[in-house]
Amino acid sequence: MLAFDWDIRTWPGANMAFLTALIATLGLMYLGVLYGKRHKPGEPLSWGQAMAGAVYVFLVLFLAYGVVPHQWLVHVQNGLGWRADKIVYGPAGLLRSHANCQATSTGGQNCGFFPFDINYLQVGDAIVGGIYVFFLSMQVYMFTWWQKRGKTTTTAVATSTFGRPLVKKG
């Protein structure tokens, strides 16, 4: 019989603080979409509703740009043990630089073609950059979606025999 431990806290590389912050942020963003589909565009808001909406957006942005990247960096440095002295060599030493040559058993040297060293801490920082880019693109998309909701676009315009659009004079 095959047994599987479903406790995510025991999985290698799992960080509950990072996963909780990420899931909470994505869930709150989804709840904003559900509210936007329910709320009619142009419907007036009370002062209290506007303040609650502002606090809600601030909370989501605080989680997306503050808590989630911070928890990832804590996970990288403490949980995964990625440090500046651990060099990334890549598959078959593809990312090995000239500075990190190794002597081979045949008397030669195993030097890579990569011009500089990459350590695991830099990889973690690059992933944080990807997290920021993801949340920024989601923020821009959701703000434009919120502004455009409820608007219909008409593409069919009557044209003259010369191909120009017909417009009534007002």
Query: CA 58: distance to chain centroid?
Result: 17
How far apart, in whole angstroms, are the C-alpha atoms of residue 62 and residue 21? 11
Q: Where are the domains of the chain?
A: 13-84+124-148, 91-118
Taking only the tens place, the pLDDT of each residue in 108-123 is 556 666 677 788 888 8
DSSP state of 40: P
Q: Is the pTM of this model over 0.85?
A: no
How far apart, in whole angstroms, are the C-alpha atoms of residue 141 and residue 33? 11
Instruction: Please check the confidence at residue 17 and state whether its pLDDT lies above 70.
Output: yes
